[in-house]
Structure 1
Amino acid sequence: MADRRSPGCRDAARPMSRLAAPGLGGAPGPASGDEAMRRGVVQLGAGPVQRGLLERFRENGLVPILVDRNERPAGRVPGSLHVRAPIDEPQTIVRALQEARSDRRLAGVGIGAVLTSTDLGVASVPVVARALDLPHASIDSIATMDDKALARRVLSEAGVRVPEGWLGRRPCDIPALETDREWIVKPVDSSGSRGVRRIRGPVALAHAIENALAFSDRFLVEECIDGIHLDINGLVIDGRFELVSIGRRHFTRPPACVPIHGGIAGGWSASLAEEVVRLMQASVAAFDYRHGPVKADLIQDERGLVVLELAARFHGDVFSHHVAEAAGRPPAALVWLARLGLCPKPVEGPRHGGWFGVFAEKAGTIRAIEGLDEVRSLPGFRTWIPRLGPGDPVGSPEDNRALVGFGLIGFDRTEDLWAEADRRRQMIRVALD
């Protein structure tokens, strides 16, 4: 069987049995009898936030194949197929797909792509895609992106601007810092703003390092760069970066750095798009990342763009699907699938689309979520995506573990998206017992 991996792929995965027989991996083979061949997409993780995206797959003539460890995935939609497996165990996923082929649950379905919406499934994507004989990025490139410390070094050596910083395992690993400057302390092996602190001074630094080490055995101390935080979604085919969307994100005040609202305000300038594409092309080339979705967190200051991190996936589905649709744009995953020829090219009609996150003020047990009905009645409200509800325990609002839910809004371009998102966020209060 021909190797259809992207050029330059250095795949460290051990050989495994292929699933690319007709009706499963690669290009679908001829159907037998009256059975029509359908295109399928493997989605690693199928929670409630993914449900809307999976419905879009189905509406575009695709069969969602859900890989989820739960017996009844919350995101399952009619017409989808469920393969039960943990999304961070690629060999288990491959075996589960083989079983689904053997018992004919996948009869008449040719798998054309493997996607995930979370960091937990990122490392599984190339292994599963390889078993399906689909193009994929190298495992090495994805692993390098996933290691914050190594990624910083690779980007810096390639001439890509990253924050000045130091890696440590103990507080004594960090040199004496200028006390009149602000610094960012974050765990190396964490995501979702968990364990991230913006601090000034040696006492605050010690506390921030202790907090970061609760999430990882390594931490980074980086210079604090003030500017506009940009959320970038893009895709890479044969090593070439293509821009999908540019959004903005706003955070809580120091010391915690928790995102509270953001979105896509109508669109973006051609000059910003050109600058982002140049930077992202240099970044994916530095990692030798040649095929797949890619997301980035950037900061734009008076000197230009700075890379905070990249990952081999799109941003979470709140931004990549729900906000995109609120802004009149197609979900990033559909752009990718259309680029692969699996569905029609989506139509765009840019407007304002945004999100806001609601947090509890302190740890406790949720009694009620107050003000939500009033927010729902306001013009431009689209939906509320709950994460927690009455009776659920909630953590401290110092990171995303205290997130109670997301609100989605959409407006014409005449509205002030950021002010409106923040106003509605503040209208909702989490009452605790």
Structure 2
Amino acid sequence: LKIADVPVVLDVKDIEGSIKVAKENNIDGVLTIASDIAIPTVAAVATELGLPGISPEVAKIATNKALMREKFVEHGVPSPRFRKVRTLDEAKEAAKEIGFPVVIKPVDNAGSRGVSKIDNMSGLADAFNYAQKNSRIGDVIIEDFVEGIECTIEGMTYNNKTEILAISEKKKPGGHYRVATDLTYPPSFPEEMIENIKGVVRLAIEAIGIDIGPTHSEVIVTPQWKTVLIEVAARGGGFGVFSDVIPLVSGVDAVLENIKMCIGQKPDIKPKYERGVVLRFFAPHEGILKEIIGFDEAKLIKNTEIGLFKKVGDTIPPLATDGDRTGYILAWGETREEAIKRANMVEEKVKFIVKDEHQK
């Protein structure tokens, strides 16, 4: 609020209030950088004031995974089998029909909140309740678990043309929860596979109806080298992906170009180059954080940035959502291999001393 010309405290879900503030101040553009929950409000304000942006109908599809999947099926986008459910009995029926393992998630949340992988019926009730608790409308989807390598794809669309700015190869620890601990750009795939990923993502963006603005997509590359689209968000990637990673990978200032689009100016979204970047997250075992060793020394490593989300004395929770991570490493270089080497150097320096909460 310190840098705002007109500071306003307002719930981002308050569409009518946001429209009122926008009209009172005669705004020139409206956007959200990386927040799913603000997408319907942004679309409503843009439509009401005649500003560039996606429509409220497209925003509704882009923030509801069930509606999104229906569009994927309609347009032939390869995606997992799924069913939308509202009761535990419906969830059991869907899981039996699809077959284990399955992924259970709320239709209308992000950041891995409410998402679980379940291998058998014994874990279904807890996973269903966890997903439904994290859904604002109470709807949950049960989907086929697709084995393979998960990737995130950062795109920007202008005049119905999408430029792909960055593709990551993700790593996730085992277990029920689906939280990534490492994103490496670019992926270690053959060029033909990368072009296939880009084609599937563009088809998905078109299926949803996104004709302008940033997108953050997730796909699985199967062991058979097939691309399966998981979901698309009509926003930039969080945790600095949109603001920091995209410029490092592609040379495109995503925030600036997004602002240009939102105020009716032509953006420059064509990638200038492709460089290596690693975004890695610290995720020590759960307990009480007692000491952090080597942090200041690690900060001196060239072409890296590190930060913490927790401090000494905080509780390290189970890694259930993106917000449960302890800190991050951002490393970059001319190549993927150089970025990985620098991230490894940082990780070797930084150690977390965590005490079990039950230890005396």
TM-score range, shorter-chain basis? 0.7 to 0.9
Deviation of 1:127 after TM superposition, in Å, equals 1.8
2:245·2:277 contact (CA, 8 Å) conserved in 1?
yes
The alignment partner of 1:185 has SS state of strand
Corresponding residue for residue 65 of structure 2 = 148
- Alpha carbons of 1:356 and 1:343: their partners in 2 closer, same or farther (altered >3 Å)? same
Q: In structure 2, what residue type is equivalent to 1:90?
A: I
Matches within 5 A, 1:131-280: 131-173=48-90, 174-175=92-93, 177=96, 181-216=100-135, 217-265=138-186, 271-280=192-201
1:266·1:413 contact (CA, 8 Å) conserved in 2?
no
Structure number with higher relative contact order (C-alpha < 8 Å, ≥ 6 residues apart): 2
Matches within 5 A, 1:12-31: none
Matches within 5 A, 1:398-413: 398-413=320-335
Corresponding residue for residue 17 of structure 2 = 92
Matches within 5 A, 1:317-356: 317-327=239-249, 329-337=251-259, 341=265, 348-356=272-280
* TM-score relative to the length of structure 2: 0.82
Whole-angstrom distance in 2 between the partners of 1:81 and 1:290:
30
Deviation of 1:147 after TM superposition, in Å, equals 0.9
Which of 280, 301, 307 is residue 229 of structure 2 equivalent to?
A: 307
Unaligned runs of 5+ in 1: 1-71, 102-109
Whole-angstrom distance in 2 between the partners of 1:290 and 1:351:
27
Corresponding residue for residue 378 of structure 1 = 301
1:126·1:138 contact (CA, 8 Å) conserved in 2?
yes
Unaligned runs of 5+ in 2: none
Whole-angstrom distance in 2 between the partners of 1:424 and 1:270:
30
Whole-angstrom distance in 2 between the partners of 1:423 and 1:315:
25
Bigger Rg, which one: 1
Deviation string 1:37-60 (CA, Å, 9 cap, x unpaired) is xxxxxxxxxxxxxxxxxxxxxxxx
| Greater percentage in helix | 2
Whole-angstrom distance in 1 between the partners of 2:201 and 2:83:
23
- Alpha carbons of 1:277 and 1:352: their partners in 2 closer, same or farther (altered >3 Å)? closer
Deviation string 1:367-400 (CA, Å, 9 cap, x unpaired) is 443442243233432x224333345555432222
Whole-angstrom distance in 2 between the partners of 1:280 and 1:321:
21
Deviation string 1:56-79 (CA, Å, 9 cap, x unpaired) is xxxxxxxxxxxxxxxx46xx4xxx
The alignment partner of 2:109 has SS state of coil
- Alpha carbons of 1:166 and 1:370: their partners in 2 closer, same or farther (altered >3 Å)? farther
Deviation of 1:281 after TM superposition, in Å, equals 3.2
Give me the identity figure in percent.
Answer: 20
Whole-angstrom distance in 1 between the partners of 2:80 and 2:354:
39
2:154·2:166 contact (CA, 8 Å) conserved in 1?
yes
Q: Figure out how many residues of one structure are paired with residues of the other and give that number.
A: 347
| Greater percentage in strand | 1
Corresponding residue for residue 59 of structure 1 = none
- Alpha carbons of 1:319 and 1:131: their partners in 2 closer, same or farther (altered >3 Å)? same
Q: In structure 2, what residue type is equivalent to 1:377?
A: L
Moved more, 219-228 or 322-331: 322-331
* TM-score relative to the length of structure 1: 0.70
Corresponding residue for residue 123 of structure 1 = 40
The alignment partner of 2:142 has SS state of strand
1:384·1:408 contact (CA, 8 Å) conserved in 2?
yes
Whole-angstrom distance in 2 between the partners of 1:240 and 1:182:
36
1:168·1:218 contact (CA, 8 Å) conserved in 2?
yes
- Alpha carbons of 1:198 and 1:267: their partners in 2 closer, same or farther (altered >3 Å)? closer
Deviation of 1:420 after TM superposition, in Å, equals 5.8
The alignment partner of 1:253 has SS state of coil
Whole-angstrom distance in 2 between the partners of 1:246 and 1:304:
16
1:360·1:396 contact (CA, 8 Å) conserved in 2?
no
Q: In structure 2, what residue type is equivalent to 1:88?
A: K
1:126·1:139 contact (CA, 8 Å) conserved in 2?
yes
Deviation of 1:166 after TM superposition, in Å, equals 2.4
- Alpha carbons of 1:186 and 1:286: their partners in 2 closer, same or farther (altered >3 Å)? same
Deviation of 1:136 after TM superposition, in Å, equals 2.1
Q: In structure 2, what residue type is equivalent to 1:244?
A: L
- Alpha carbons of 1:343 and 1:177: their partners in 2 closer, same or farther (altered >3 Å)? closer
Matches within 5 A, 1:394-433: 394-413=316-335, 415=337, 417-418=339-340, 421=343, 424-425=346-347, 427-429=350-352, 431=354
Deviation of 1:100 after TM superposition, in Å, equals 4.0
Whole-angstrom distance in 2 between the partners of 1:322 and 1:369:
25
Whole-angstrom distance in 2 between the partners of 1:419 and 1:177:
45
2:163·2:270 contact (CA, 8 Å) conserved in 1?
no
